[in-house]
Every structure is written in structure tokens, then in C-alpha cells.
Amino acid sequence: MSSGAAQGVGLEAVDNSGVFQPSQHDVRRFFCEVWRKHAAGLPLDAMEAQAATWVAEHPEYADDLAHLDAALAAVYTVEDGRTNPFLHLSMHLSIAEQVSIDQPSGIRQAVQLLAGRLGSLHEAHHQVMECLGEMIWASQRSGLPPDGPAYIEAVRRRATARP
């Protein structure tokens, strides 16, 4: 319901934009907590369980995830030549969510085709990350909204490329 519609029926509009926009520290706390709970064999909620799947695929991030204070203070730059584990894991979650709801429309099939071609969902995600990053970069550069169809087409090209 839009805030105008909510006000029209006597309800106050609620600003819940922060719910969907976690800070950098929120993201880092989330993944560190997932790692802690996963390593300790503690129960995980649905989102944590999905995140734990991707954390387990990246044992090279264990040290980054094991120390919350260091994680909160860490700075990852291109010049360091090191992947930001929190961004990388967040992209895995984003792609998994896109696939689960098939949004943008066609991403599920494109990722499935790519995973089949590569024989690995994990490796497919890494290639999709490149496409996703290119789409975001192009959107930021042009000032236009992200181009979902171009993103899907980029993934499909990778899925159908000759080895």
C-alpha cells in the first residue's frame, strides 16, 4: 500500500527504507554471525542458512569472518588486489534471491543454463557476478536504471558460449 493510500484510510505512513538498506557494518555483522553460528553448529534461520551455504563455499574467507572487530574496520580497495569477502558473499545472496523469484524475468533459466554448462552453480554465480557488476557499473555511469534485459542477455551469452 502506498503511503498516500495508507494515509487515506487513517494509517500513518511508516518509513521502513532502512529495513531494506543495511549498512556496511550491518552486512559484515550478519556474515560474521553466520560464520560463528555455522562453525559452532548452532541453529540458523532461513537467510542465515542460505548465507552459510555460500560461506562454506569460501573457506578462504574464514579469517575475515571470524573476527568481528577486524571485519568492521577492514578496508578493501582495488589497489590491494584482494576481494572484499562481504561484497562477494552479498552478491551470492543477491543472485540466489534473483533466481528464487526469477527477477529479472529470465534470470533463473539463464543461471540454470550457465550452471549446467559449467557443471557448477558456484562457478556460474561467479560469472553472473561479472554480468551483474557490469550492469550496475553501466547504470551508475549512464545515470539510467539498471538494464535487466541486457543483464539477462549477458548471462545467456555466457551460458551458450562455446568452450
Residues 106 and 161 in one domain: yes
How large is the average pLDDT for residues 59-75? 96
Radius of gyration of the chain measured on its C-alpha atoms: 18
- Verify that 75 and 28 share a domain, yes or no: yes
CB crowding 123-151: b at 16 or more within 10 Å, else e: ebbebbbebbeebeeeeeeeeeeebeeeb
Whether 138 and 111 map to the same domain: the answer is: yes
On whether residue 88 sits in a domain, the answer given is no
Is residue 91 a part of any domain in this protein? Answer: no
Comparison of pLDDT for 12 and 42, the residue scoring more? 42
Say if 38 falls within a structural domain.
yes
Mean of the per-residue pLDDT values of the chain? 89
- Tell me whether residue 10 is in a domain: no
Is the domain of 78 the same as that of 107?
Answer: no
4, part of any domain: no
Q: Residue count of the chain, please give it.
A: 163
Is 97 within the bounds of a domain? no
CA 3 → CA 20, 30, 31, 140, distances in Å? 17, 30, 33, 28
How many CB atoms neighbour CB 116 within 10 A?
12
Whether residue 113 sits in one domain with residue 163: yes
Q: Give domain status of residue 90, yes or no.
A: no
Number of structural domains found in the chain: 2
Over range 23-28, report the average pLDDT.
Answer: 95
Expressed as residue numbers, the domain containing 62 is 22-83
Q: What percent of the chain has pLDDT over 70?
A: 87
pTM summary value: 0.83
Mean pLDDT in residue range 56-82: 93
Check residue 55 and give its pLDDT. 96
User: Which of the four pLDDT bands, split at 50, 70 and 90, describes residue 105?
Assistant: very high
Among candidates 149, 145, 72, which has minimal Cα distance to 107?
149
Q: In degrees, to the nearest 5, what angle opens at C-alpha 126 toward C-alphas 122 and 129?
A: 135
Q: What is the pLDDT of residue 20?
A: 63
Structure confidence at residue 4 (pLDDT): 39
Residue 57 reports pLDDT greater than 50: yes
Task: Determine, yes or no, domain membership for 29.
Answer: yes
Helix orientation angle between 107-118 and 148-160, rounded to the nearest 10 degrees: 20
Tell me the average pLDDT across 63-71: 96
